[in-house]
Structures are given as C-alpha cells and as structure tokens.
Homo-oligomer: A and B are copies of this chain.
C-alpha cells in the first residue's frame, strides 16, 4: 500500500481496526445463534456484545500474538480481557478460518462497493465529456496513422462502454466473493450447526458458502482479482489514449495543469501527461495481482495457508491502488482540456487523404474494378502524401479519375459531415441504460 496512492476510505477497510471489528461482529453474531441453539449460555452472548462500544487495543493484541503466534487466539484472549469470563463461550466450534475468511469476504465486498463508486464517477465524467464533444471532429487513427474522421465524443463514449462492461463484471465478482463460511475445521460442520453460518451470513449481508473446506474456495478471490486486472487495463487503455493526444505533435487534449504546478525542474514550458503516465504504471501494479491470485486456487487438501501471505499483500494493495487510480482517472477526465482547434488542424494536415476510402468506393460504384480503383486512389494518395497539395485537386487533375467521377463526383467525397451521420446511433447504443 503506497501512501501516495492511497485514499483513506479504502485504507480504512483494510486497517487492523476494521479487521478486528469485523471479527468481533462475526463472533458476536455466531454466539447469539449458539445461545439460541442452547450450545452456550444466553448470558455469554449478551456479555460479548458489551465489547460493541469498546475499543480494541491493537498493541495489546499484537503483544499476545507474539506470544501465542496465532492471530485469532490473540484476539479472543483480548476479548476475554474486555468482556470477562463469559468470553470463553465465544468461538465455540468455530475454526480460525471461519472468522478470517468471512472477514476477508466482508472486506472485499466493501472494497467492491467503494470501487463501484469510483467507477461510477469515472463513467459520469466520461458520459459528460462524450456528450460535450459528441461532434468535435478529429482524425481517427489506426496504427498511429491517420485513417478516417471520428469525434472526440466517440472516444469518450467507447471508454464509457468499456467501463460499463467492467462495472457489470465487478458487480458479478462482488456477488461471487460475498459468501460466509462457518463450517469448522474441514467444512463438515462437525462442531457447529449450519444455522450459525446462516445467521451470521444474513447479519453481514452475505450468502452462505455452499461447500467450504476449512476455507472459502479461492477461485472466488481469483475471479475478483482478475476483474480488478481488467479494470486496471481499462484505465491503461484510456491513459494511453490521453498520452497520445497530449504529445507535442498532436496536442488535441491536455491534462489540467494547475497554476502552482511545476512540470519539470529543468524545462519550465513542459506540460506533461503525468497523471496518465502514472495511471499506466498503476495499471501494471494492480494487474500483477492476477497471477498470484490464480496460483492461490490450488491449495492442498482441505486447505494450506500459502494463500494467506499473498492476500495480505494483494488484498489491500490491489484494492487501494485501483481505488486511487479510479479517482485519479475521474479527476483527469473531468479536467481534461480538449483542443477542438488542434483536432481540426490535424484532420486537415494531409490534404484530405483521409477521404481516399470514399473515393475508392465511388470509383468502384462508377464501374472501375477493385484493383483499378485501388490503383487510381493510391497514385493520387501517394502524390498528396509525398508532394503535398490537396487530394481533391490531384484527383481532379487525374484524367482517369475525372473520366469516371467528374468534378462533382470527386467533390462529393470530401464532406466531413458524412462521417458523423451515425454518431447518434452509436450514442444511443452506448448510453441506452446509462
């Protein structure tokens, strides 16, 4: 968890305080049910809840853990110190993993909720900018080479669509991870009734894990981290686009540059796309959680604890860094300066050769073979590219082309509005439910 890429809201979910508080809730709800089932005295259940308003002393728990080398026992011992003798009934029939894994499920679902908020903010920003620049015409590029016109709004819209898909994936991944397992040492409920699991699950907003071993199966977690990897990749995708648009030769967009900000100690004129470069790196970092999460799936028999150290790392780190990245992405989009004038300049920079495809089709329609049409367009396109001038003029000076299309036929191919006539259709598709 890198401090500068951490928002306190997400860090709080993964703090020791939160963890112990969730452990407490699991134990307390479980004890309630155990009391109801007559396994422990009702007075015990009541006693436990006294700790609801007490603060856990983390240093003290750490101290006990150093001695007993077991975190849950350390917590339970401290709980006894707080609520007294009756605490001996707490955790009756449970195994440590019942508490640890259910707690992790709670932390991951809470993290998912926070991430969904971040995605909503990103999507709101993308939608607003998409509509704002729906018809801001610019050149579309394949292979980094000018192709045909598109609009800045379509760029924002496509990232919106990608985030919307990822949002749906995260909603699924959240549902998958939101399970509660209180099933004992090997998942057989040998010493704890399934009713306890059902009760705790309900109280914590989880579903019961249909079949656990000592642990909740790790494919659920792996699916969650794979989803985070996809969201991170979407952030990279968007970031790479902005970085391209901001480069000196393009300058179609620019990250907001605050008055007090110094771009570089050496080159004061520079306005660097540092937010999106940073996001590109954060995407790599978040994505690096995917493989170890998948390596965690194959545990030995009814569990080994190899997954635990991995999750102590990637659990908070991937959630915290992605959360930060989403909000940085949102701010970046919200503040992004779009230079419509530069978009137009770039579009017109090569004599209108981006219309060559339309000329090609017109020639084919006019009866030329595909190969002939291709040759005619290519020779004028190359001329425009190599010698300058405007394609429309070169075509008009080409007697073969003139014979097929005539001056009006040629001119009809050079109308930029033509390229925008289906933008509404696309927007309707993308923002139908948004």
Tell me if A52 counts as interface (CB < 8 A to partner B).
Answer: no
Q: Which residue of B is nearest A282, CB measured?
A: B309
**Segment of A17-25, A108-116, A379-387, A398-406 engaged in the interface with chain B:** A379-387
Chain B residues near A261 (CB, 8 Å)? 68-70
Q: Is the interface of A mostly helix, strand, loop or mixed?
A: helix
Counting CB contacts under 8 A, is A246 at the interface? yes
A143, A277, A358: most-surrounded residue (chain B CB, <10 A): A143
Does A53 sit within 8 A of B, measured CB to CB? Answer: no
Across-interface contacts of A143 in B (CB, < 8 A): 243, 270, 272-274, 277, 300, 303-305
Residues of B within 8 A of A11 (CB): none
Distance in angstroms from A170 CB to nearest chain B CB is 11
CA distance A282 to B306 in the complex (A): 8
Min distance, Cβ A155 to any Cβ of chain B, angstroms? 9
Indicate the member of A68, A287, A302 with the most B CB atoms within 10 Å: A302
**Residue A104 at the chain B interface, CB threshold 8 Å:** no
A84-92, A117-125, A330-338 - interface stretch = A84-92
Q: Which of A5, A297, A308 has the most CB of B within 10 A?
A: A297
Chain B residues near A283 (CB-CB < 8 A): 298
Residues of chain B within 8 A (CB-CB) of A91 are 265
Q: In the bound complex, do residue A142 and residue B185 qualify as a contact, i.e. CB atoms below 8 Å apart?
A: yes
A186 touches B306 (CB 8 A): no
| Residue pair B154, A211 in contact (C-beta under 8 Å) | yes
Q: Quick check: is A82 within 8 A (CB to CB) of the other chain?
A: no
A285 at the interface (CB under 8 A from B): yes
- The smallest beta-carbon distance between A52 and chain B, in angstroms, is 21
Contact call A284/B296, Cβ cutoff below 8 A: yes
Q: Is the CB of A266 within 8 A of B357?
A: yes
Residue of B nearest to A213 (CB): B158
| Contact (Cβ within 8 A) B374 A248 | no
Contact B186 A142 (CB under 8 A): yes
Place the interface of chain A in its size category: 35 or more
A161 within 8 A of B: yes
Contact call A166/B230, Cβ cutoff below 8 A: no
Of residues A187, A210, A250, which shows the largest number of chain B Cβ atoms within 10 Å of its Cβ? Answer: A210
B382 x A269 contact (CB < 8 A): yes
Per-position binary interface string of chain A over residues 272-292, scored 1 when its CB falls under 8 Å from any chain B CB and 0 otherwise: 111001101111110111111
Contact present for A265 and B219 (CB under 8 Å): no
Cβ-defined contact, B300 with A295, below 8 A: no
Cα–Cα distance between A185 and B148 once the two chains are bound (Å): 7
**CB of A353 closer than 8 Å to a CB of B:** yes
**Least CB distance, A411 to chain B, in whole angstroms:** 17
A222 to chain B: which residues have CB within 8 Å? 230, 233
A-B contact pairs, 16 of them (CB 8 A): A2-B309, A70-B265, A80-B370, A92-B364, A140-B186, A142-B213, A142-B264, A142-B303, A143-B274, A145-B273, A149-B190, A189-B426, A233-B295, A268-B377, A269-B385, A288-B288
Closest A-B pairs by Cβ, 4 of them = A140-B186, A269-B381, A281-B309, A144-B247
